[in-house]
Structures are given as structure tokens and as C-alpha cells.
Amino acid sequence: MEEQQLEKATLAGGCFWCTEAVFQRVEGVKKVTSGFTGGNIKNPPYREVVTGRTGHAEAIEIEFDPNIVTFEELLYIFFATHDPTTLNRQQNDVGTHYRSAIFYYTEQQKETAEKVIKELEEQKTFKDPIVTEVSPAGQFYVAEQEHHDYYNQNRNQPYCRVIIDPKVQKLKHTFSKKVKSEA
């Protein structure tokens, strides 16, 4: 049996607890890691990132099988499950670390991101313009352990019920053919 060739995607869509919960449920996604990228200091701790002074975004690093789910499909899920029209904000979470961003690894990923954004804009998918940053992937720093698998471990927390549950439900409704059967 041939070993699968995984690809990587790094996305920032506000709180990484939300984006992690969504992408953990996508067929073809093998691993989702919460962390920080796009900033200007090495190994930033969460408590520093949330001050907004490090320049990092809360992000997830996704390892996926492109034979099952494409980068483009991941982007459509990304745009459908967060608000890409609010600068440095997702609902009540405010600050540059909550910005919407796609950090690309290849020229093909960059072109795909730009194509998807252009398409969504032309279709007027959102009332306001998309402000999602498209930047080269830099160093990704893994978040502290308590931030990993947060939604699955804390489903009864008010934040999970009010903020994350609707995103997971939208994924299941809008992209039902791309949701893992055990999700």
C-alpha cells in the first residue's frame, strides 16, 4: 500500500478553539494543531499573544490528504465557518491575534486562496468585503497543551455552546459530504 502524501495548511479564523473544532471533523484531515503564527517573537506564550503585542495570530496547522479533501475545499469550509469580513475580530473576540488569515506554503496555495476570495467577492457571498490576509507561512508555534482539543474536552462550557457549537453545526449542515462519519 502506497503511503499517503499529506499536505499542510495554516489558517487563522479567530479563536483557534473554534477552527480546531471545525477542521477536526473534516474527512481527509489527519491532524489539527492549535498555535500561533505571523508574529515577531520566537515561542510566544498564549498570555503574550493575547496582549496583541507579538503580532501573532491564533491559528491552526492542518495536515490533510489532498486525495480526500483539497486545499480549495478546506478554504470554502474556512470561509463558511468564520466571519472573514471583520478586521481583527471574531464575534466578541477582538485584537490582531483574532484576525482572519491564510498562511500559504506554496505558490499554488496562494493562487488558490486568491481565487477563492475573488470568487466569493464576485458572488457577493458576504455583505461586506473580505479582509482575510493571505501571507506566506512562517514559523508555527504550538500552543500550550490546555488549548489542544479544547472543544471536545469542554463541550459544556458556555463559550463552546454559544460560539463553537453553531460553527460545528454549520459545517455538518453545509458540508455534510465532507464530515467524518464519527463526527
Residues known to be catalytic: 15
Q: Which of 86, 78, 92 is nearest to 12 (CA)?
A: 78
Burial class (CB in 10 A: 0-12, 13-18, 19+), 169: exposed
Strands 7-13 and 57-64: antiparallel
Q: Specify the 3-state DSSP secondary structure of 24.
A: coil
Q: How far is CA 170 from CA 66, 77, 90, in A?
A: 22, 9, 16
Do the beta carbons of residue 96 and residue 85 sit within 8 Å?
A: no
The total number of residues written for the chain in this structure: 183
Distance CA 31, CA 139 (A): 18
The three-state DSSP-derived secondary structure of 49-89 is: HCCCCCCCEEEEEEEECCCCCCHHHHHHHHHHCCCCCCCCE
